Amino acid sequence: MEEPVDTATAILASAAVLLRERTFDDISYRALADEVGISERTIYRQYPTRAHLLAALSNWIEQTCFPLPPFVTVSDFCAAVHQRFHAFDASPAYAYVGARASAISPTLDTEPAYLTRAIEAMLDVAAPTLNRRDRRRVAASLRYFSSAMFWARLRTGLDLDAAEICDAFDQAVSTVLARLPEATWARS
């Protein structure tokens, strides 16, 4: 017996199905309601604006289609991001939703993303003497370079494939981390 799906999840799953055939801009609340089998008003109750729908859809897609494997070290982080970029190449419509959602103003009151917290935890281990301000700055940089937005800009702007984007990511990570003082790094 299948577990029941809540309305919000059904809306997001149906929006993801529609993304296979259309762009996000071409998915109307009416078409989405028809796909889910609910009223258009119910969609508006769950997601009052398209920005709310986009943000929720992006989060849902990231969790279901592009989960980042756990990482503890910088090399684990890089390997996880490489895997993610190849997944983006395999499902570009979904990755573009993530990129677009990250470009809009936040619509939800959320705590720092899992990825930001995971990067900060990695830095706590790898660079234990890094001060809080610099740790947050480095984490923000690494989060951007591992994002769908970074992937999309290199994919559409420079027509790079996942392997080339991984190379650019590796260079960016090396540049950011090279700026940290040598005494910051934990001794193995």
Q: How is 50-110 classified by DSSP, letter by letter?
A: HHHHHHHHHHHHHHHT-PPPP--SHHHHHHHHHHHHHHHHHSHHHHHHHHHHHHSPP-S--
Q: What is the pLDDT of residue 1?
A: 47
Note the pTM of the prediction, 2 decimals: 0.82
Closest among 1, 30, 5 to 15, alpha carbons compared:
30
* Side chain identity, residue 12: L
Distance between CA 153 and CA 175 in Å, rounded? 19
- Per-position pLDDT tens, the chain of length 188: 445 568 889 999 999 889 888 888 899 999 999 999 999 999 999 999 988 999 889 888 888 888 888 899 999 999 999 999 999 999 998 999 888 888 775 555 455 577 888 999 999 988 888 888 888 899 999 999 999 999 999 999 999 999 999 999 999 999 999 888 775 666 65
CA 182 to each of CA 63, 119, 126: distance values in angstroms, whole numbers, following the listed order? 35, 19, 11
The residue with tokens 């700026």 is 179
Q: What is the pLDDT of residue 28?
A: 92
What residues have CB less than 8 Å from 34, skipping those under 6 apart?
Answer: none
Closest among 13, 151, 35 to 90, alpha carbons compared:
151
**Rama region for 159: left / alpha / beta (φ>0; ψ in -120 to 50; rest):** left
Distance between CA 36 and CA 42 in Å, rounded? 10
Q: Helix 114-126 to helix 132-145 angle, to the nearest 10 degrees?
A: 120
What residues have CB less than 8 Å from 117, skipping those under 6 apart?
Answer: none
Q: What is the pLDDT of residue 163?
A: 96
